[in-house]
Structure 1
Amino acid sequence: MRILAVLAALVGLLAGASPAVAQNRFWLQNNTEQTIVAANVSPSRVEDWGPNILTQGPVRPGMQVWVQPTFPDCYLDIRVRFADGTEDGHLGVHACTLSRIAFGRDVPLAATPPPPEPERVLANPSFTFVNRTGEAIREIYVSLTSNRNWGNDRLGPRQILPPGGSMPISLPRGSVCTADMRIVFMDGRIMEQRNVETCSIREFVWR
């Protein structure tokens, strides 16, 4: 009778013992360039994939999710579906010996390089000079305010700009939009205008 009582006690202890915790838990890591929108994990011994395990949402590139299977099997089949509808999978993975199962490169993705800086558009200070003075002009000097000298006469030798006449003034593109101007009339009189903003105009009328 004592032996039977001892056996009954042992059976009771075994029945009440907690089941062993499965050692097949792992990190599912996305080392591809696409977002994983669904994942299935099932024992290799069964054909059914089971439900989508990504209950917390998709796994973006470079991210990972902790997977805790509800069954104790060590050999697992794993399938993922990407945002573009394509699928990939690992079959017969011995998950009990791994802490991480990766799709794509088996290393974390490198940080995404910053996008290239947009090409800087250079300001264009060129314009058309229009003579509305009522007199002929024999010399015209125009230079950016960043320059220290006037440069050459824009009209050239033996040339004049009659009243109502116009001529293009070409200036180098860059970050400077202001110009200094000097004109010389036929009788030698000189007039100047400085710090004229020309990037926002097509023509400048001198009156």
Structure 2
Amino acid sequence: MRILAALAVLAGLLAGTSPAAAQNRFWLQNNTGQAIVAANVSPSRVQDWGPNILSRGPVGPGMQVWVEPTFADCYLDIRVRFADGTEDGHLGVHACTLTRIVFGPDVSAPTPAPAPPPPRQAEAPNPSFTFVNRTGEPIREIYVSLTSERNWGRDRLGARQILPSGAAMPITLPRTGVCTADMRIVFMDGRIMEQRNVETCSIREYVWR
């Protein structure tokens, strides 16, 4: 009697590992733009791909086919071949925990949120300003440079130009983080006047009197 009972238990165990009891069945979904003309499914533990499982023909774009492996393994390797001859595959898929294996974009998966934009760098203050001549006489040369520079640079008026008294002109300076400027003016008779370390980032115009 004990022998018969043991045989019955063994038979039950063998039945539990039969293909009919396997939980590795799934839908093979084609979400690509071309037909799948062949598909192979094999246990991950073996190297042989086995036969083409598409006995009813190709799986067109957007279509799916029900796959019932003839073995009970949960970890599967799946390979497909498309109409243009290219191949794709999923290796080591735990088929016992899912019902669908997708080739192409999985439209059922939530779309990941876009990455946040990089933080915007703070813009350096603007040292540019408008120069106003209130000296009572014309100016023939104007030089303005940031205090970080080692030379006066070019004449802002240019050759054969003057700035009459009461007139104004824009002075453009680079945004380097420096907000102080040195200024030099030359009058018609050659006299020179200078202003040093003038803070210009907080003003719109500078009046020279």
Q: Please give the TM-score of this superposition, normalised by the length of structure 2.
A: 0.45
TM superposition score normalised by structure 1: 0.45
